[in-house]
């Protein structure tokens, strides 16, 4: 039941916030399974989750220019992360990336509350996309940089989730391709099979719960979630 419950709760969280499933799946399941198998298997599982979220948030609007800024720079970054996955010390890396993500979330919270006027404009997209791709390839947590960027450049939560998960879908497909090319396509069937029901159920529950939040409240949820995920990455 461990893979089922982990994936269910992770995708309930992602359906609620728009991102974050990767850190819980990788962090928790790596305690019982080979971390490299978990990173790759979770990428395969997450294709199903992002597809369901695209349908769930289909009423949102897509700014293709913003999406382009995110996706194109993420491609070489994903390859770099997949290549480094074979040899890099992931424990030190998790601490460094986790600390950065916490600071990123604090920055976004200050912007959303009007305490800081320096916002990310649309030209910041390439940097957010690159960092998201690199982090995803290395530790399976690529959501915070593009999430903060879109939190400051979209008008409503449906559009935020729709665009973020379009980015995730392309991100995951490139990750799987590069894992294959690098010879690190390690898939654990137990994780994948347990996820077939857990992912849809989690997406449904998370999507239902978020309906009661206003657009402004949801922006604060995104900021807090980025901070929370940064700490989770350092601990898990």
| pLDDT of 27 | 81
Q: Averaged over 28-33, what is the pLDDT?
A: 87
What is the residue-averaged pLDDT of the chain? 88
pLDDT over 80 (residue 192): yes
CB 3 within 8 A of CB 18: no
| pLDDT of 203 | 96
How far apart, in Å, are the Cα atoms of 164 and each of 15, 26, 53, 103, 104? 11, 20, 10, 20, 17
pTM of the model: 0.85
| pLDDT of 43 | 84
Report the C-alpha gap between 29 and 37 in whole angstroms.
Answer: 10
Domain boundaries, the chain: 2-235
CA terminus-to-terminus distance, the chain: 19
Residues 167-184: pLDDT tens digits?
Answer: 989 888 887 888 788 777
pLDDT over 90 (residue 139): no
Q: Tell me what percent of the residues of the chain surpass a pLDDT of 90.
A: 44
Q: Averaged over 150-163, what is the pLDDT?
A: 92
Least confident of 119-128, 184-193, 211-220: 184-193
Is 216 strand, coil or helix? helix
């Amino acid at each position: 039941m461990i893979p089922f419950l982990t994936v269910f709760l992770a995708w309930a969280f992602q359906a609620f916030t728009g991102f974050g499933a990767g850190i819980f799946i990788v962090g928790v399941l790596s305690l019982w399974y080979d971390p490299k198998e978990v990173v790759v298997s979770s990428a395969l599982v997450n294709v199903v989750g992002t597809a369901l979220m695209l349908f769930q948030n289909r009423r949102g609007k897509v700014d293709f220019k913003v999406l382009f800024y995110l996706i194109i720079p993420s491609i070489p970054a994903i390859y770099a992360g997949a290549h480094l996955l074979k040899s890099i010390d992931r424990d030190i890396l998790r601490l460094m990336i986790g600390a950065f993500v916490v600071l990123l979330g604090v920055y976004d919270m200050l912007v959303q509350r009007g305490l800081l006027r320096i916002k990310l404009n649309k030209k910041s997209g390439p940097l957010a996309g690159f960092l998201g791709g690199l982090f995803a390839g290395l530790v399976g947590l690529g959501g915070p940089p593009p999430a903060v960027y879109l939190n400051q450049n979209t008008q409503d939560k449906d559009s935020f989730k729709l665009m973020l998960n379009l980015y995730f879908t392309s991100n995951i497909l490139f990750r799987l391709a590069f894992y294959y090319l690098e010879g690190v396509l390690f898939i654990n069937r137990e994780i994948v099979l347990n996820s077939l029901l857990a992912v849809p159920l989690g997406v449904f529950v998370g999507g239902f719960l978020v309906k009661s939040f206003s657009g402004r409240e949801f922006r604060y949820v995104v900021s807090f979630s980025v901070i929370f995920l940064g700490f989770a990455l350092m601990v898990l």
